[in-house]
Chain A
Amino acid sequence: MQDVCSDADMLVLLEAARRGEPAAYDRIYNLYADRVFRYLYARIGQREVAEDLTADVFVRLLKNLPRFKVNRARPVASFSAFVYRVAGNLLTDQYRKQKHRDHQDIDDQPDLADRRPEPLILTTIAESSRELMSAMAKLGQEQQAVLLYRFGEEFSVLEVAEIMGKTTGAIKALQHRAIANLRRILSAEALQ
Protein backbone atom coordinates (compact mmCIF):
# COMPACT_ATOMS: atom_id res chain seq x y z
CA MET A 1 0.00 0.00 0.00
CA GLN A 2 1.39 3.31 -0.96
CA ASP A 3 1.70 6.26 1.29
CA VAL A 4 -1.40 8.39 1.15
CA CYS A 5 -1.67 12.07 1.69
CA SER A 6 -4.73 14.15 2.35
CA ASP A 7 -5.29 17.55 0.80
CA ALA A 8 -4.52 19.33 4.05
CA ASP A 9 -1.36 17.30 4.48
CA MET A 10 -0.34 18.08 0.94
CA LEU A 11 -0.62 21.81 1.53
CA VAL A 12 1.57 21.55 4.60
CA LEU A 13 3.96 19.29 2.76
CA LEU A 14 4.30 21.66 -0.16
CA GLU A 15 4.94 24.61 2.11
CA ALA A 16 7.65 22.66 3.87
CA ALA A 17 9.14 21.63 0.55
CA ARG A 18 9.21 25.23 -0.61
CA ARG A 19 11.15 26.05 2.53
CA GLY A 20 13.64 23.42 1.50
CA GLU A 21 13.03 20.98 4.29
CA PRO A 22 14.59 17.62 3.38
CA ALA A 23 11.92 15.70 5.28
CA ALA A 24 9.27 17.17 3.03
CA TYR A 25 11.12 16.02 -0.05
CA ASP A 26 11.51 12.59 1.47
CA ARG A 27 7.79 12.40 1.95
CA ILE A 28 7.10 13.55 -1.59
CA TYR A 29 9.58 11.01 -2.86
CA ASN A 30 7.93 8.23 -0.90
CA LEU A 31 4.54 9.28 -2.16
CA TYR A 32 5.38 9.42 -5.82
CA ALA A 33 8.50 7.38 -6.51
CA ASP A 34 6.71 4.15 -7.41
CA ARG A 35 4.09 5.97 -9.39
CA VAL A 36 6.62 7.86 -11.38
CA PHE A 37 8.63 4.72 -11.91
CA ARG A 38 5.62 2.82 -13.24
CA TYR A 39 4.71 5.69 -15.46
CA LEU A 40 8.19 5.74 -16.94
CA TYR A 41 8.58 2.00 -17.02
CA ALA A 42 5.39 1.67 -18.99
CA ARG A 43 6.83 3.89 -21.67
CA ILE A 44 10.45 2.92 -21.71
CA GLY A 45 10.29 -0.76 -20.98
CA GLN A 46 13.80 -0.79 -19.53
CA ARG A 47 13.87 -1.06 -15.80
CA GLU A 48 17.26 0.50 -15.16
CA VAL A 49 16.59 3.45 -17.41
CA ALA A 50 13.23 3.97 -15.79
CA GLU A 51 14.83 3.91 -12.36
CA ASP A 52 17.44 6.46 -13.31
CA LEU A 53 14.84 8.68 -14.89
CA THR A 54 12.70 8.42 -11.79
CA ALA A 55 15.45 10.07 -9.77
CA ASP A 56 15.83 12.68 -12.52
CA VAL A 57 12.15 13.47 -12.27
CA PHE A 58 12.47 14.29 -8.59
CA VAL A 59 15.52 16.43 -9.12
CA ARG A 60 13.68 18.37 -11.77
CA LEU A 61 10.65 18.51 -9.53
CA LEU A 62 12.80 20.12 -6.88
CA LYS A 63 13.87 22.83 -9.30
CA ASN A 64 10.41 23.46 -10.62
CA LEU A 65 8.59 23.37 -7.33
CA PRO A 66 8.89 27.13 -6.65
CA ARG A 67 6.97 27.76 -9.84
CA PHE A 68 4.22 25.32 -9.06
CA LYS A 69 0.95 26.99 -8.17
CA VAL A 70 -1.08 24.62 -6.12
CA ASN A 71 -4.80 24.39 -6.58
CA ARG A 72 -5.82 24.90 -2.98
CA ALA A 73 -9.15 23.28 -3.59
CA ARG A 74 -7.48 20.09 -4.82
CA PRO A 75 -3.87 20.09 -3.71
CA VAL A 76 -3.22 16.38 -4.12
CA ALA A 77 -4.72 16.17 -7.56
CA SER A 78 -3.01 19.29 -8.81
CA PHE A 79 0.34 18.25 -7.44
CA SER A 80 -0.01 14.76 -8.88
CA ALA A 81 -0.75 16.25 -12.26
CA PHE A 82 2.29 18.47 -11.84
CA VAL A 83 4.49 15.46 -11.03
CA TYR A 84 3.31 13.67 -14.13
CA ARG A 85 3.87 16.74 -16.27
CA VAL A 86 7.42 16.89 -15.04
CA ALA A 87 7.87 13.20 -15.74
CA GLY A 88 6.37 13.55 -19.19
CA ASN A 89 8.60 16.48 -20.04
CA LEU A 90 11.64 14.61 -18.84
CA LEU A 91 10.68 11.65 -20.92
CA THR A 92 10.28 13.86 -23.93
CA ASP A 93 13.74 15.30 -23.39
CA GLN A 94 15.10 11.79 -22.99
CA TYR A 95 13.60 10.74 -26.29
CA ARG A 96 15.02 13.79 -27.97
CA LYS A 97 18.47 13.01 -26.67
CA GLN A 98 18.13 9.42 -27.70
CA LYS A 99 16.94 10.42 -31.10
CA HIS A 100 19.84 12.77 -31.47
CA ARG A 101 22.25 10.03 -30.51
CA ASP A 102 20.82 7.24 -32.53
CA HIS A 103 19.58 9.32 -35.49
CA GLN A 104 16.42 7.41 -35.28
CA ASP A 105 13.25 8.55 -36.79
CA ILE A 106 10.72 9.97 -34.40
CA ASP A 107 8.13 7.63 -35.78
CA ASP A 108 10.02 4.75 -34.26
CA GLN A 109 9.58 6.21 -30.81
CA PRO A 110 6.49 5.89 -28.71
CA ASP A 111 4.04 8.72 -28.77
CA LEU A 112 5.62 11.10 -26.33
CA ALA A 113 2.63 13.28 -25.85
CA ASP A 114 0.53 10.32 -25.05
CA ARG A 115 0.55 9.54 -21.38
CA ARG A 116 -1.51 6.48 -21.73
CA PRO A 117 0.21 3.29 -20.72
CA GLU A 118 1.32 1.01 -23.46
CA PRO A 119 1.07 -2.73 -23.66
CA LEU A 120 4.79 -2.73 -22.99
CA ILE A 121 4.14 -2.54 -19.30
CA LEU A 122 2.08 -5.67 -19.49
CA THR A 123 5.05 -7.74 -20.54
CA THR A 124 7.10 -6.53 -17.62
CA ILE A 125 4.73 -7.41 -14.87
CA ALA A 126 5.14 -10.46 -12.75
CA GLU A 127 4.12 -13.86 -14.04
CA SER A 128 1.21 -14.23 -11.61
CA SER A 129 -0.58 -11.31 -13.11
CA ARG A 130 0.24 -12.05 -16.71
CA GLU A 131 -3.25 -13.28 -17.53
CA LEU A 132 -4.84 -10.17 -16.15
CA MET A 133 -2.37 -7.94 -17.85
CA SER A 134 -2.71 -9.61 -21.20
CA ALA A 135 -6.42 -9.05 -20.96
CA MET A 136 -5.79 -5.46 -20.10
CA ALA A 137 -3.61 -5.11 -23.17
CA LYS A 138 -6.68 -5.72 -25.29
CA LEU A 139 -8.40 -2.66 -23.96
CA GLY A 140 -8.28 0.68 -25.57
CA GLN A 141 -5.48 2.94 -24.46
CA GLU A 142 -7.67 5.29 -22.46
CA GLN A 143 -9.19 2.37 -20.59
CA GLN A 144 -5.72 0.96 -19.97
CA ALA A 145 -4.67 4.32 -18.67
CA VAL A 146 -7.48 4.67 -16.24
CA LEU A 147 -6.88 1.18 -14.87
CA LEU A 148 -3.18 1.84 -14.51
CA TYR A 149 -3.76 5.10 -12.71
CA ARG A 150 -6.54 3.86 -10.52
CA PHE A 151 -5.21 0.43 -9.58
CA GLY A 152 -1.56 0.46 -10.49
CA GLU A 153 -0.80 3.89 -9.13
CA GLU A 154 -3.72 4.10 -6.75
CA PHE A 155 -4.78 7.54 -7.76
CA SER A 156 -8.15 8.81 -6.80
CA VAL A 157 -10.73 9.58 -9.43
CA LEU A 158 -10.01 13.23 -8.91
CA GLU A 159 -6.31 12.79 -9.51
CA VAL A 160 -6.87 10.72 -12.62
CA ALA A 161 -9.21 13.36 -13.92
CA GLU A 162 -6.57 16.00 -13.32
CA ILE A 163 -3.86 13.96 -14.98
CA MET A 164 -5.91 12.94 -17.99
CA GLY A 165 -7.58 16.29 -18.36
CA LYS A 166 -11.10 14.98 -17.97
CA THR A 167 -13.96 15.48 -15.59
CA THR A 168 -14.45 13.18 -12.66
CA GLY A 169 -17.70 11.99 -14.22
CA ALA A 170 -15.88 11.05 -17.39
CA ILE A 171 -13.26 9.19 -15.40
CA LYS A 172 -15.91 7.30 -13.48
CA ALA A 173 -17.62 6.30 -16.70
CA LEU A 174 -14.31 5.38 -18.29
CA GLN A 175 -13.38 3.32 -15.27
CA HIS A 176 -16.69 1.52 -15.39
CA ARG A 177 -16.31 0.65 -19.06
CA ALA A 178 -12.71 -0.44 -18.59
CA ILE A 179 -13.52 -2.80 -15.73
CA ALA A 180 -16.54 -4.18 -17.52
CA ASN A 181 -14.59 -4.79 -20.71
CA LEU A 182 -11.75 -6.36 -18.80
CA ARG A 183 -14.14 -8.71 -17.10
CA ARG A 184 -15.64 -9.73 -20.45
CA ILE A 185 -12.21 -10.39 -21.87
CA LEU A 186 -11.23 -12.45 -18.85
CA SER A 187 -14.46 -14.42 -19.03
CA ALA A 188 -13.96 -15.12 -22.72
CA GLU A 189 -10.43 -16.26 -22.17
CA ALA A 190 -11.54 -18.48 -19.29
CA LEU A 191 -14.04 -20.19 -21.58
CA GLN A 192 -11.40 -20.93 -24.18
Chain B
Amino acid sequence: MTSSSRAIRSLDVALALALDDLEAGLSQIEVLARYPGYEDELAPLLATAAKLRRADWPVLSMSARVRGRERVHVALAQQKPRRSFVLPPLWRQLGASLLLVALAVTAFMAWPGRRSDHTSMPGATPTIEATPSPGPAVESTFTPAPTETPLPSITPTPEPTEPPEAADSIRSITRTATATLSPTETPTRTLTPSPTPTATHTPTPTPTSTPTGIVAGAAADTPVPSQPSDDDDDPTEEPSPSATAVVTETPPPPEPTREPTSTRPVPTDLPPLPTGLPRLPTDLPPPPELLLSPSADPSAAQTP
Protein backbone atom coordinates (compact mmCIF):
# COMPACT_ATOMS: atom_id res chain seq x y z
CA MET B 1 0.00 0.00 0.00
CA THR B 2 1.41 3.31 -1.02
CA SER B 3 1.40 6.39 1.09
CA SER B 4 -1.00 8.08 -1.35
CA SER B 5 -3.61 5.36 -0.93
CA ARG B 6 -3.16 5.54 2.82
CA ALA B 7 -3.75 9.30 2.58
CA ILE B 8 -6.86 8.79 0.48
CA ARG B 9 -8.16 6.41 3.06
CA SER B 10 -7.54 9.03 5.67
CA LEU B 11 -9.31 11.59 3.51
CA ASP B 12 -12.25 9.22 3.31
CA VAL B 13 -12.44 9.23 7.07
CA ALA B 14 -11.89 12.96 7.29
CA LEU B 15 -14.66 13.61 4.78
CA ALA B 16 -17.06 11.33 6.59
CA LEU B 17 -16.34 13.02 9.89
CA ALA B 18 -16.59 16.46 8.32
CA LEU B 19 -19.96 15.59 6.82
CA ASP B 20 -21.15 14.45 10.22
CA ASP B 21 -20.01 17.75 11.65
CA LEU B 22 -21.87 19.64 8.97
CA GLU B 23 -24.94 17.60 9.71
CA ALA B 24 -24.53 18.42 13.37
CA GLY B 25 -24.83 22.10 12.51
CA LEU B 26 -21.26 23.32 12.30
CA SER B 27 -20.35 25.76 9.60
CA GLN B 28 -17.99 24.78 6.80
CA ILE B 29 -15.25 26.98 8.17
CA GLU B 30 -15.54 25.44 11.59
CA VAL B 31 -15.43 22.00 10.12
CA LEU B 32 -12.38 22.68 8.01
CA ALA B 33 -10.63 24.04 11.07
CA ARG B 34 -11.12 20.72 12.80
CA TYR B 35 -9.17 18.80 10.15
CA PRO B 36 -5.91 20.58 9.60
CA GLY B 37 -3.98 19.30 6.66
CA TYR B 38 -7.12 18.34 4.76
CA GLU B 39 -8.55 21.80 4.26
CA ASP B 40 -7.61 22.06 0.61
CA GLU B 41 -9.07 18.69 -0.26
CA LEU B 42 -12.05 18.88 2.00
CA ALA B 43 -13.23 22.34 1.04
CA PRO B 44 -14.49 21.56 -2.48
CA LEU B 45 -15.95 18.24 -1.34
CA LEU B 46 -17.87 19.86 1.48
CA ALA B 47 -19.14 22.54 -0.89
CA THR B 48 -20.49 19.88 -3.21
CA ALA B 49 -21.97 18.00 -0.30
CA ALA B 50 -23.70 21.15 0.84
CA LYS B 51 -25.29 21.45 -2.62
CA LEU B 52 -26.49 17.93 -2.30
CA ARG B 53 -27.99 18.69 1.07
CA ARG B 54 -29.82 21.68 -0.29
CA ALA B 55 -31.16 19.82 -3.24
CA ASP B 56 -34.87 19.28 -3.50
CA TRP B 57 -35.30 15.63 -2.94
CA PRO B 58 -38.85 14.46 -3.45
CA VAL B 59 -40.94 14.03 -0.34
CA LEU B 60 -44.22 12.40 0.37
CA SER B 61 -47.15 14.75 -0.11
CA MET B 62 -49.19 15.64 2.92
CA SER B 63 -52.29 13.89 1.67
CA ALA B 64 -50.34 10.73 0.94
CA ARG B 65 -48.74 10.93 4.35
CA VAL B 66 -52.10 11.13 6.06
CA ARG B 67 -53.51 8.33 3.95
CA GLY B 68 -50.55 6.15 4.67
CA ARG B 69 -50.75 6.74 8.40
CA GLU B 70 -54.42 5.89 8.39
CA ARG B 71 -53.77 2.68 6.55
CA VAL B 72 -51.14 1.73 9.08
CA HIS B 73 -53.58 2.38 11.92
CA VAL B 74 -56.26 0.32 10.25
CA ALA B 75 -53.84 -2.53 9.75
CA LEU B 76 -52.70 -2.21 13.33
CA ALA B 77 -56.28 -2.38 14.58
CA GLN B 78 -56.90 -5.47 12.47
CA GLN B 79 -53.78 -7.12 13.71
CA LYS B 80 -54.28 -6.50 17.40
CA PRO B 81 -56.82 -9.24 18.09
CA ARG B 82 -54.67 -11.79 16.36
CA ARG B 83 -51.59 -10.76 18.22
CA SER B 84 -53.07 -11.84 21.51
CA PHE B 85 -53.09 -15.44 20.33
CA VAL B 86 -49.56 -15.45 19.10
CA LEU B 87 -47.31 -17.37 21.37
CA PRO B 88 -43.70 -16.48 21.83
CA PRO B 89 -41.39 -18.49 19.64
CA LEU B 90 -40.09 -20.54 22.56
CA TRP B 91 -43.57 -21.64 23.55
CA ARG B 92 -44.43 -22.34 19.96
CA GLN B 93 -41.40 -24.59 19.66
CA LEU B 94 -42.25 -26.29 22.92
CA GLY B 95 -45.82 -26.85 21.83
CA ALA B 96 -44.71 -28.25 18.51
CA SER B 97 -42.30 -30.58 20.29
CA LEU B 98 -44.99 -31.81 22.64
CA LEU B 99 -47.30 -32.38 19.73
CA LEU B 100 -44.67 -34.42 17.97
CA VAL B 101 -44.06 -36.49 21.09
CA ALA B 102 -47.76 -37.08 21.49
CA LEU B 103 -48.04 -38.15 17.89
CA ALA B 104 -45.09 -40.47 18.27
CA VAL B 105 -46.57 -42.04 21.40
CA THR B 106 -49.92 -42.45 19.70
CA ALA B 107 -48.32 -44.02 16.68
CA PHE B 108 -46.35 -46.33 18.94
CA MET B 109 -49.44 -47.36 20.84
CA ALA B 110 -51.36 -47.97 17.65
CA TRP B 111 -48.61 -49.93 16.01
CA PRO B 112 -50.09 -53.27 15.04
CA GLY B 113 -47.05 -55.25 15.92
CA ARG B 114 -46.86 -53.92 19.41
CA ARG B 115 -47.54 -56.64 21.90
CA SER B 116 -49.12 -54.96 24.82
CA ASP B 117 -51.06 -52.16 23.29
CA HIS B 118 -54.41 -53.85 23.64
CA THR B 119 -54.27 -53.31 27.33
CA SER B 120 -54.33 -49.62 26.84
CA MET B 121 -56.47 -49.30 23.79
CA PRO B 122 -60.09 -49.66 24.50
CA GLY B 123 -61.02 -50.84 21.05
CA ALA B 124 -58.41 -53.46 20.67
CA THR B 125 -59.25 -57.09 20.93
CA PRO B 126 -56.49 -59.22 22.22
CA THR B 127 -56.48 -62.65 20.79
CA ILE B 128 -54.60 -65.46 22.32
CA GLU B 129 -54.24 -68.69 20.54
CA ALA B 130 -53.03 -71.27 22.92
CA THR B 131 -51.97 -74.42 21.27
CA PRO B 132 -50.71 -77.05 23.57
CA SER B 133 -48.36 -79.54 22.13
CA PRO B 134 -46.51 -82.51 23.31
CA GLY B 135 -43.29 -80.68 23.02
CA PRO B 136 -41.71 -79.32 26.10
CA ALA B 137 -41.70 -75.73 24.99
CA VAL B 138 -44.93 -73.87 24.86
CA GLU B 139 -44.78 -70.72 22.92
CA SER B 140 -47.22 -67.97 22.54
CA THR B 141 -47.62 -65.53 19.80
CA PHE B 142 -49.90 -62.63 20.02
CA THR B 143 -50.52 -59.47 18.28
CA PRO B 144 -53.09 -56.90 19.23
CA ALA B 145 -55.98 -56.69 16.88
CA PRO B 146 -58.48 -53.92 16.72
CA THR B 147 -62.09 -54.74 17.31
CA GLU B 148 -62.97 -54.03 13.73
CA THR B 149 -60.81 -56.88 12.69
CA PRO B 150 -62.95 -59.88 12.08
CA LEU B 151 -61.78 -63.01 13.73
CA PRO B 152 -63.05 -65.87 11.74
CA SER B 153 -62.98 -68.49 14.39
CA ILE B 154 -63.85 -66.43 17.40
CA THR B 155 -66.37 -63.78 18.04
CA PRO B 156 -65.81 -61.80 21.15
CA THR B 157 -68.94 -62.07 23.15
CA PRO B 158 -69.84 -59.70 25.87
CA GLU B 159 -72.25 -62.19 27.28
CA PRO B 160 -71.95 -65.88 27.91
CA THR B 161 -71.84 -67.67 24.67
CA GLU B 162 -74.00 -70.52 23.76
CA PRO B 163 -73.27 -73.77 25.43
CA PRO B 164 -71.29 -76.47 23.77
CA GLU B 165 -74.40 -78.33 22.80
CA ALA B 166 -75.52 -75.54 20.54
CA ALA B 167 -72.53 -75.68 18.36
CA ASP B 168 -73.03 -77.63 15.24
CA SER B 169 -69.89 -78.31 13.47
CA ILE B 170 -67.75 -76.69 15.99
CA ARG B 171 -67.34 -78.45 19.16
CA SER B 172 -67.10 -75.65 21.56
CA ILE B 173 -66.95 -75.55 25.21
CA THR B 174 -67.94 -72.32 26.75
CA ARG B 175 -67.38 -71.49 30.26
CA THR B 176 -68.67 -68.37 31.72
CA ALA B 177 -67.10 -66.76 34.62
CA THR B 178 -69.68 -64.36 35.81
CA ALA B 179 -67.62 -63.71 38.66
CA THR B 180 -67.23 -60.38 39.35
CA LEU B 181 -64.79 -57.90 38.39
CA SER B 182 -65.90 -54.41 38.24
CA PRO B 183 -66.29 -52.35 35.14
CA THR B 184 -68.25 -52.78 32.06
CA GLU B 185 -66.14 -54.58 29.62
CA THR B 186 -66.29 -58.26 29.15
CA PRO B 187 -63.44 -60.37 28.06
CA THR B 188 -63.98 -63.46 26.06
CA ARG B 189 -61.36 -66.11 26.04
CA THR B 190 -61.42 -69.09 23.84
CA LEU B 191 -59.10 -71.92 24.36
CA THR B 192 -58.63 -74.41 21.63
CA PRO B 193 -56.08 -77.11 21.77
CA SER B 194 -54.02 -77.50 18.72
CA PRO B 195 -51.13 -79.66 17.77
CA THR B 196 -48.80 -76.77 17.63
CA PRO B 197 -47.01 -76.04 20.81
CA THR B 198 -47.68 -72.41 20.58
CA ALA B 199 -49.93 -69.93 22.09
CA THR B 200 -50.64 -67.30 19.56
CA HIS B 201 -51.99 -63.79 19.56
CA THR B 202 -52.85 -62.85 16.06
CA PRO B 203 -53.66 -59.29 15.13
CA THR B 204 -54.47 -60.00 11.57
CA PRO B 205 -57.79 -61.51 10.67
CA THR B 206 -56.17 -64.48 9.11
CA PRO B 207 -58.69 -67.27 9.09
CA THR B 208 -56.84 -69.98 10.84
CA SER B 209 -58.29 -73.17 9.71
CA THR B 210 -55.77 -74.85 11.83
CA PRO B 211 -56.81 -76.81 14.81
CA THR B 212 -56.00 -74.05 17.09
CA GLY B 213 -57.00 -73.15 20.47
CA ILE B 214 -57.79 -69.50 20.64
CA VAL B 215 -58.07 -67.43 23.70
CA ALA B 216 -59.61 -64.16 22.85
CA GLY B 217 -60.25 -61.32 25.15
CA ALA B 218 -63.03 -59.18 23.84
CA ALA B 219 -62.39 -56.11 25.82
CA ALA B 220 -58.97 -54.77 25.76
CA ASP B 221 -58.94 -53.07 29.05
CA THR B 222 -60.84 -55.70 30.83
CA PRO B 223 -59.05 -57.45 33.57
CA VAL B 224 -59.38 -61.13 33.67
CA PRO B 225 -58.67 -62.58 36.99
CA SER B 226 -56.12 -65.26 37.16
CA GLN B 227 -55.83 -65.58 33.47
CA PRO B 228 -52.79 -67.49 32.44
CA SER B 229 -51.17 -64.50 31.14
CA ASP B 230 -48.17 -62.92 29.84
CA ASP B 231 -47.34 -59.74 31.52
CA ASP B 232 -48.17 -57.83 28.38
CA ASP B 233 -51.48 -59.45 28.14
CA ASP B 234 -52.55 -58.54 31.59
CA PRO B 235 -55.69 -56.55 31.77
CA THR B 236 -55.26 -53.93 34.29
CA GLU B 237 -56.83 -50.64 34.48
CA GLU B 238 -60.53 -51.22 34.74
CA PRO B 239 -61.82 -54.44 36.11
CA SER B 240 -65.09 -55.54 34.64
CA PRO B 241 -68.13 -56.42 36.65
CA SER B 242 -68.65 -59.59 34.77
CA ALA B 243 -65.91 -61.54 33.20
CA THR B 244 -66.81 -64.17 30.69
CA ALA B 245 -64.47 -66.80 29.53
CA VAL B 246 -65.34 -68.76 26.48
CA VAL B 247 -63.46 -71.83 25.67
CA THR B 248 -64.02 -73.10 22.23
CA GLU B 249 -62.65 -76.07 20.51
CA THR B 250 -62.80 -76.27 16.82
CA PRO B 251 -62.24 -79.38 14.82
CA PRO B 252 -59.10 -79.12 12.85
CA PRO B 253 -59.09 -78.84 9.12
CA PRO B 254 -57.14 -81.37 7.19
CA GLU B 255 -54.05 -79.29 6.69
CA PRO B 256 -53.37 -76.83 9.39
CA THR B 257 -51.37 -73.80 8.62
CA ARG B 258 -49.29 -72.08 11.13
CA GLU B 259 -48.34 -68.54 10.65
CA PRO B 260 -47.30 -67.14 13.92
CA THR B 261 -46.06 -63.67 13.70
CA SER B 262 -43.91 -63.93 16.69
CA THR B 263 -43.40 -66.48 19.36
CA ARG B 264 -42.36 -66.44 22.89
CA PRO B 265 -42.52 -69.07 25.59
CA VAL B 266 -45.46 -69.32 27.87
CA PRO B 267 -44.78 -70.12 31.46
CA THR B 268 -45.76 -73.60 32.39
CA ASP B 269 -47.08 -72.75 35.79
CA LEU B 270 -49.90 -70.57 34.77
CA PRO B 271 -52.26 -69.16 37.30
CA PRO B 272 -55.76 -70.60 37.37
CA LEU B 273 -58.62 -69.18 35.44
CA PRO B 274 -61.00 -67.00 37.32
CA THR B 275 -64.02 -69.21 37.77
CA GLY B 276 -63.24 -72.78 37.52
CA LEU B 277 -61.45 -72.67 34.25
CA PRO B 278 -59.07 -75.55 34.10
CA ARG B 279 -55.46 -74.88 33.89
CA LEU B 280 -53.69 -75.42 30.66
CA PRO B 281 -51.79 -78.64 30.97
CA THR B 282 -48.15 -78.58 30.51
CA ASP B 283 -48.08 -82.08 29.14
CA LEU B 284 -50.71 -82.13 26.50
CA PRO B 285 -51.74 -85.14 24.55
CA PRO B 286 -50.42 -85.52 21.07
CA PRO B 287 -52.15 -83.30 18.55
CA PRO B 288 -53.66 -85.90 16.26
CA GLU B 289 -55.46 -87.63 19.04
CA LEU B 290 -56.60 -84.48 20.62
CA LEU B 291 -57.81 -82.65 17.59
CA LEU B 292 -58.90 -85.22 15.13
CA SER B 293 -60.52 -87.80 17.26
CA PRO B 294 -63.92 -86.85 18.62
CA SER B 295 -63.24 -88.88 21.66
CA ALA B 296 -60.48 -86.64 22.78
CA ASP B 297 -60.93 -85.38 26.21
CA PRO B 298 -62.04 -81.79 25.95
CA SER B 299 -61.23 -81.00 29.45
CA ALA B 300 -57.66 -81.81 28.79
CA ALA B 301 -57.66 -79.39 25.95
CA GLN B 302 -59.20 -76.65 27.98
CA THR B 303 -56.94 -77.03 30.84
CA PRO B 304 -54.01 -74.73 30.59
Contact = CB atoms under 8 A, between A and B. Distances in A.
Given A51-B60, A173-B12, A180-B45, A58 B52 contact: no
A33 to B, nearest CB: 5
Contact of A183 (B48, B54, B64, B73): B48
Interface in B249-285: none
A62 B75 contact: yes
A151 B52 contact: yes
A68 to B, nearest CB: 13
Interface residues of B, number: 40
Interface stretch (B76-84, B119-127, B134-142): B76-84
Nearest to A173: B12
A176 B71 contact: no
Nearest to A2: B59
B8 to A, nearest CB: 8
A34 B60 contact: yes
Contacts of A132: 51-52, 55
A26 to B, nearest CB: 7
A49 B23 CA distance: 31
B68 interface: yes
Given A129-B56, A132-B51, A183-B45, A172 B13 contact: yes
A41 B52 CA distance: 18
A19 B259 CA distance: 65
User: Majority SS of interface residues in chain B?
Assistant: helix
Contact of A55 (B56, B58, B67): B67
B58 A58 contact: no
Contact of A22 (B15, B59, B73): B73
Nearest to A66: B86
Contacts of A115: none
A59 B61 CA distance: 18
Interface stretch (A8-16, A74-82, A106-114, A118-126): A118-126
Contacts of B13: 172
Given A125-B56, A172-B16, A58 B80 contact: no
B71 A179 contact: no
A84 to B, nearest CB: 16
A38 B61 CA distance: 11
Given A147-B52, A172-B16, A179-B45, A55 B76 contact: no
Interface of A: 20, 22, 25-26, 29, 33-34, 37-38, 41, 47, 51-52, 54-56, 58-59, 62-63, 66, 121, 124-126, 128-129, 132-133, 147, 150-154, 156-157, 169, 172-173, 175-176, 179-180, 182-183, 186
Interface of B: 8-9, 11-13, 15-16, 19-20, 23, 44-45, 47-49, 51-61, 64-65, 67-69, 71-73, 75-76, 79-80, 83, 86
12 contacts: A25-B73, A33-B65, A38-B57, A66-B86, A151-B52, A151-B55, A152-B52, A152-B55, A173-B8, A176-B15, A179-B48, A179-B49
